[in-house]
Amino acid sequence: MFLCCKRQRHVHPDEKLQHRDQSQSIRLFYDPNSVSNFNTYRVIHTHFDLTVDFSSNILDGYVQLDIKPLSNTEYEYSSTITSKNIEIPNNDKKQFVLDCRHLNIKKVFLKSNDTEKLLSFQIDDKHESLIIDMTDILKTSVVSIIIHYSTSNTKCTALQWLTKEQTADRQYPYMFSQCQAIHARSLYPCQDTPGVKSTFTAKITCPKPLTALMSGLQTKHDKNINTFYFEQKQAIPSYLIAIAVGQLVSYDLSPRIRVWTEPSMIKQCQYEFSEAEQFLTAAEKLLGKYQWERYDFLVLPPSFPCKLLYNEKSDFSETRTI
C-alpha cells in the first residue's frame, strides 16, 4: 500500500511574495546546520585548483566560487521557512559568509575579467565561518570570489590520510574524502547545505605515480606534472564533492562503467562487478535513462571504515564488497 499526502507550502506574509515566478529553480530556505548566507548569495559554480601534499597531509591551493546575488522578493520560499524562522539569517549583502572549519585561509580576491581585487575577511572560529567583506562589490550580477587556502593536517574531518602500510599493496600512501553530512566545510570554504547545488571543475596535482579521482568526469591528464582535470556538469551539493588519491588502476566493465582499485585487487573487482551493466540496464527499464553519463566504482583499501559512500558518477566501496 502506498500513502500519499499533499504538503502545504508556506506563504510568506509579504504580499509581494505571493506573486513569485514558480518556475524559478532557486528557492530560499532555512538550514540550521549552516551559517552561510545562501539566501543572499548563492554559489552556482565551483572551481578547485589544489595540490595534494602527502608530506604534510594537506591540500593546498585555491577555490573559485561563482556567486549570484539573490533578492528576497524574487524567489520562492521553501516549506523549511516558517513563521518561527521567517527572518533570514546572515541577510547582510555587505558580507559573503561561508561555512569554514579549521581551514588556513591565506587571501581572498574578487576576480573581474583579468584583474583581481584583494578583499578583506575574518574567521569566526566560534561559528566556523569565513566572513568576506563585500561592501564595494556590485551586487547585481554574478561575481567570482577566489580563496587561497590549505586544509588542516590534524583537524580536517573530510579527509582521511592513509600511510602505505594501511593500503592493500603497501607501496604508496592514500587519501580519500567523506564530506557527508557537513564535513565539506573542512575541505573548502562553502555553503555546506544540501539546498545549495553547483557545478564544478577541478585541477588536482598529486605525486607520481599516483592517480587522482573525483566525483566528476576526468577531462584531461597532464602526465608531465601529474595533474588531473575534472568536470561535473550536473549541479550537486557540497557533501557529494569527493576526491581520492592513491596507486590506482582501472578496468572497464562496459563503455560507461569502470572499476578502480589498487593493482592487487583489480581482478577480484573485475569479477565482483562484472554484472554491473546488466543491473544498470535493468534499472533504466524501470526508472528511465541514467542521467549521469558514467557509473564508476572505487574500491578503497581494507582500512576504509564504511560500507559504501555514494558520490555522483563514482561510488567509494569497502574491500569486503569483493
CATH of 248-321, picked from 3.30.2010.30, 1.10.10.60, 3.40.718.10, 3.40.50.970, is 3.30.2010.30
The rounded distance, in Å, linking the Cα atoms of 105 and 62 is 9
Please choose, from the candidates 76, 83, 80, 128, the residue with its C-alpha nearest in 3D space to the C-alpha of residue 102: 128
- Note the pLDDT of residue 11: 36
The rounded distance, in Å, linking the Cα atoms of 289 and 291 is 6
pLDDT(13) > 60: no
Tally the C-alpha atoms within 13 A of residue 299's C-alpha that lie toward its C-beta.
25
- Note the pLDDT of residue 216: 93
At 228-267, the pLDDT tens digits run: 999 999 999 999 999 999 999 999 999 999 999 999 999 9
Superfamily of domain 32-74+90-242: tricorn interacting facor f3 domain (2.60.40.1730)
- Note the pLDDT of residue 76: 81
- φ, ψ for residue 31, nearest 5 deg: -140, 110
Go through 3-25 and write b for each residue having 16 or more CB atoms within 10 A of its CB, e for each that does not.
eeeeeeeeebeeeebeebeeeee
Q: Domains of the chain: which residue ranges? A: 32-74+90-242, 248-321
At 148-195, the pLDDT tens digits run: 999 999 999 999 999 999 999 999 999 999 999 999 999 999 999 999
At 122-134, the pLDDT tens digits run: 999 999 999 999 9
Please choose, from the candidates 21, 14, 139, the residue with its C-alpha nearest in 3D space to the C-alpha of residue 87: 14
The two beta strands, 143-150 and 58-69, are: antiparallel
- Whole-model pTM? 0.87
| Set of cell numbers at residue 216 | 566528476
The rounded distance, in Å, linking the Cα atoms of 8 and 157 is 37
